[in-house]
Structure 1
Amino acid sequence: MNYVIGMDIGTTSTKGVLYDTNGKVILQAEKLYPLYRDASGMAEEDPEEIFEAVLACLQDILRHADLKKNHLAAVSFSSVNQSLIVLDDQHRPLTRVITWADTRAAKYADQLKADGRGKSLYEHTGTPIHPMSLLCKLLWLKTEKKDIYDQAAYFGGIKEYVFYRLFGVWQMDISVASCTGIFNIFKLDWDAQALALTGAKRSQLPKIVDGYQQTKGMNPDFAKRLGYPTETPFVQGAFDGALSNLGVGAIEKGEMAVTIGTSGGIRVVTDHPVIDPKERVFCYALTRKMWVVGGPVNNGGVVFRWARDNLFDAEQSTAALLKKDAYTLLTDIAQTVPAGAGGLLFLPFLGGERAPIWDANARGAFFGLTQMHTRANMIRAVLEGIVYNLYTVLLALEEVVGKGKTILATGGFTQSPFCRQILADVFEQPITIPENFESSCLGAAVMGMVSTGLVDNLNVVKQFVGPTKTYAPDPKNFRAYRELMPIYIRLSRQLKDEYKNIADFQKKQA
């Protein structure tokens, strides 16, 4: 039996899962690392901490797997997209990893939207104008961190840094490249307009390679440390959102994937690039022949965690005494009030927002609060607000690619049966939950299997997904959501000017 490791370098942790060629999970490992928010808008990570997490996951798996020599066929990678590391001429980091969640480039995104250049850039690159993208991050660096920008020999992301440390190659897969905002998705090359605007040179950017690209010949010191055969291939893979679609088997027309982890997103795979005239959704590559169209949101499970930590201190203590998960206790509380939370709406924009409004200044709010509302109403409103926001992305996506025939959902938020039911009720569609939880790791592993010839094509993933459970919408709940959703949508849009005003005030106080 041959085995493949699917690695996922995420925002808060790196995960590794060992699969056999039937898609069965043999072993898994996870290593956490911090997100640094030392200044207003900052969201950075230490590239060395992430690199060590990758090594530690591999060590854990290889130490416990008891694999016979040469039975490990490949290690294949998923990674978070839109991360930026600036490096010197020796590929030593001049910055930490500037993550997708960093909003310090908001001013430059606003300028591109205001002067009209943003639209043409979006039409070339498929990346909506937002501070998350390398395009805007490079403009910010060029203007506000000129000393670092002038020292830069190379620009890349976290997966590129990991591969360089292990193999001495400077390369980026087409999937991650397509997420940068400086890559032309029609020419499959760095975009001339974006490069001219940022001043970045082709020589500073990684070589573009196919996602099935194999790299061998690991640095002997790391190979010895891992106890790892140096000629076992590392497969470049793709970005995590695309591989999440693959990992739940949502790769045919009309099969939509919803992911709600720390952040969230809704995506569908197409056979050609698709551009939204209203600039609400992205279009990124999975492979050269498969494209992922969708919308990411900043505010997924992280909002639930904020509510837990800031509104329910006593319940956390109670959960600890009962030896019960605090999130489960909160969903139990939320279920004590009917759908719609008694007319209490929650805008979940605690970290600005990406799709569909693409506004880094967006801020959260409770709306409709009265003396009759309790914390039970508030926690239900928080959970519903997360899903309302995702539903607005679904509406935009359906307008661009058509209505989906199935929706598959994964991520930590969907581990709760109650949250699954909210999804089904707000979307007014059946929601199918695959048993496999680490969909990005599975997607990466399947790309590795295709790359090494263990399987013929990506469609084999449908045999690996395993059992699923489907949640049907409940009519007594979705009637309330039908009435509240238009209010939510109007409210979130009408506050646009005030988002900026309150964000400007908050920045002065930071």
Structure 2
Amino acid sequence: MIGVDVGTTATKAVLYDEHANALRRFSAGYALYRDARGMAEQDPFALLAAVEQVIHDAAAEIDFAHEQLLAVAFSSANQSVMMFDCHFKPLTRIITWADTRAEEVAKRLKHSPAGSQIYAQTGTPIHPMSPLTKIMWLNQTQSDKVAQAAYFVGIKSFLFHQFFGVFKTDISMASCTGMMNIQTGNWDDQALSLTNLRVEQLPAIVSGTTQERGLTPEAQAQMGIPVDTPFVYGAFDGALSNLGVGAIKQDTVAITIGTSAGVRVVTDHPVIDLQQRLFCYALDNDHWVIGGPINNGGFVYQWAVHHLVDANAVQHEGTDPYTLANHVIAGVPAGAHGLLFHPFLGGERAPLWNADARGSFFGLSPLHTRDDMLRAVMEGISMNIATVFEAVSDLVGKPNRVTATGGFARSVVWRQMLADVLDCPVNIPKSFESGCLGAVTMAMKSLGMIDHLDAVNYLMGGIDAYQPEPGAVAVYHRYLPVFKQVEKLLTPAYLAIAHLQKQSE
């Protein structure tokens, strides 16, 4: 089986045997275009080529004379949109989740009566990253292209059209658009009205275990696999990350910290947050993912390491900046000597849903050092995650454990810090490609190889476990309320500073 994870700047694939043991990993990258303020676009055909390349490379490892490719299954970044004409030719590049040019549209909608109504119906917070607001923005700014557009397409529906000539999307991807009614599982009438779309302009919504067979000759030639290989739709990457680490019950929260971050728990029914802090998306027809996406994860730490780690010390120690930074942070006590950092360098989604949010150090004194600042940055990212963790706990109850993945998991100091800040045991799976494993788990259910998705717990590898350290927990219990107090006090000033920054450019 091949699990494919289509991301923002690269697509990964993992080749598994029939028992879901990972055999080989593959990757291919592509550009993310940021040609204008707020823009974050992909070339659809560069992305298509990368997906076909990793599938081809994985298939090259299969001895088709003696082995069978059981399925190819997909995980994908969500909240993308592009426009196609009546011949299915693209009118735009892929406008990705990271594109924020619909900021003003989102602000107006959020503060209108329709904003709370559409959130309650779709489970998607009103934000510029949502395809709902993106399409409203396209109506205002690219009306000529909108007039030509016959179809509005996400990444996965684009890929499956290229592979099979169908126009479909899975319920998980549809639920992330802000345009699917989470009670009916159909496109929402109010969302269609807000975007001036007809239902036939959007893909048909199918189960994530739906299979497509019969590759087009072009796709079959590019990937070098049998034409009747089943392709399984899967789900969006966050949901499959939960599945891939076995976090598919309410007692386990999954946290991912990569460039950005996410906090998610799976329930057996939709749950709406009256404060509109969290999303409610589908994993499949029987499981719902409640959580919050966080803009400011590992990329904020990268920024801090770049600016705060002494290059001379790196050279003297004969190591890399991140190893040195982690060593330095481990030597600073919890609380960073009374220094707090709010990590909102890229605006923020959950829990603020405020694209104008900006980062700040609070509590600086002449006694603080760069070492303290590095520790405060790592703690600030963790405390921001804790505020979303608390919101999730408010809705579904505090979990018994956290399963965490992402690039941060390579840092032992960050693993322990997360357990301490959350005051909750943290498990780190030894397998990092949870999205790909989640995708092939859905393929196994589609093929009848397993009866229930929780069979993934038997497919996972080992874990590293971290328990909260009582002394550090006590420190963070005192610091977290101040972190939230300062966040609340600064919120009214975010619009003003964001405006001043735009003027200064």
Q: TM-score, with normalisation over the residues of structure 2?
A: 0.97
Tell me what 1:402 maps to: 397
Shift in Å, 1:106: 1.2
Distance, in Å, in 2 between the alignment partners of 1:488 and 1:148 is 45
The reply on whether 1:353 has 2:360 as its aligned counterpart is no
Contact 1:80 1:240 in 2 (8 A): yes
Q: After superposition, what is the alpha-carbon deviation per residue over 1:57-99, rounded to whole angstroms, capped at 9, x for unaligned?
A: 1122122344446611000000001011111222222222111
Offset from partner CA, 1:396-438 (integer Å, 9 cap, x none): 1111111112211111112211110110010011111111111
Amino acid at match of 1:405: N
**Separation in 1 of the partners of 2:453 and 2:40?**
34
Unaligned runs of 5+ in 1: none
Among candidates 60, 63, 69, match of residue 60 of structure 2: 63
Corresponding letter in the other structure for 1:33: Y
Change (3 A) 1:402 1:28: same
Cα shift at 1:208: 0.8
* Distance 1:315-1:250 versus aligned 2 partners, 3 A rule: farther
Count matched residues.
505
**Aligned-partner residue type, residue 103 of structure 1:** T
Alignment CA distance shift 1:332-1:68 (3 Å): farther
1:478 aligns with 2:462: no
Instruction: Give distance in 2, aligned partners of 1:93 and 1:458.
Output: 36
Question: Deviation string for 1:226-274 (max 9, x for gaps)?
Answer: 2210100110000001101100001123211111111111111111111
Tell me how far 1:307 sits from its aligned partner.
1.8
- 1:164 alignment counterpart: 161
Match of 1:431 in 2: 426
Q: Does 1:73 align with 2:70?
A: yes
Once residues 132 and 502 of structure 2 are traced to their aligned partners in structure 1, the CA distance between those partners, rounded to angstroms, is: 23
2:85 to 88, 102, 106: 88
SS at match of 1:64: coil
Of 244-253 and 299-308, more deviation after overlay is shown by: 299-308
User: 35-44 vs 74-83, which deviates more?
Assistant: 35-44
1:243 aligns with 2:240: yes
Which residue in the other structure is 1:233 paired with?
230
The aligned residue for residue 155 of structure 1 is: 152
**Correspondence for 1:422:** 417
Aligned position for 1:199: 196
DSSP 3-state at the match of 2:60:
helix
Structure 1 residues 59-68 or 260-269, which shifts more? 59-68
Q: Work out whether 1:280 is the aligned partner of 2:316.
A: no
* Separation in structure 1 between the aligned mates of residue 420 and residue 45 of structure 2, nearest angstrom: 43
Give the CA deviation at 1:332: 1.0
* Alignment CA distance shift 1:217-1:182 (3 Å): same
Whether the 8 Å contact between 1:89 and 1:153 is mirrored in structure 2 is: yes
Aligned residue identity for 1:287: D
Listed as ranges, the matches of 1:425-464 within 5 Å are: 425-464=420-459
TM-score (ref. length: structure 1):
0.96
Q: What is the alpha-carbon distance in structure 2 between the residues aligned to residue 168 and residue 175 of structure 1?
A: 21
* Secondary structure at the counterpart of residue 71 of structure 2: strand
- Equivalence for 2:184: 187
Corresponding residue of 1:255? 252
How does 1:311-326 map onto structure 2 within 5 Å?
311-312=308-309, 314=311, 318=315, 322=318, 324-326=319-321
**2:307 pairs with one of 302, 310, 326:** 310
Inter-partner Cα distance in structure 1 for 2:424 and 2:465: 10
Matches within 5 A, 1:494-509: 494-509=489-504
Tell me which residue corresponds to 1:297.
Answer: 294
- Secondary structure of the structure 1 residue equivalent to 2:432: coil
Q: Is the 8 A contact 2:314 2:320 kept in 1?
A: no
Evaluate the alpha carbon distance shift between residue 227 and residue 143 of structure 1 in structure 2; reply closer, same or farther with a 3 A threshold: same
How far apart are residue 156 of structure 1 and its match? Answer: 1.4
- Compute the RMSD of aligned alpha carbons: 1.6
- The equivalent of 1:46 in structure 2 is 43
Structure 1 CA distance, aligned partners of 2:44 and 2:418?
A: 35
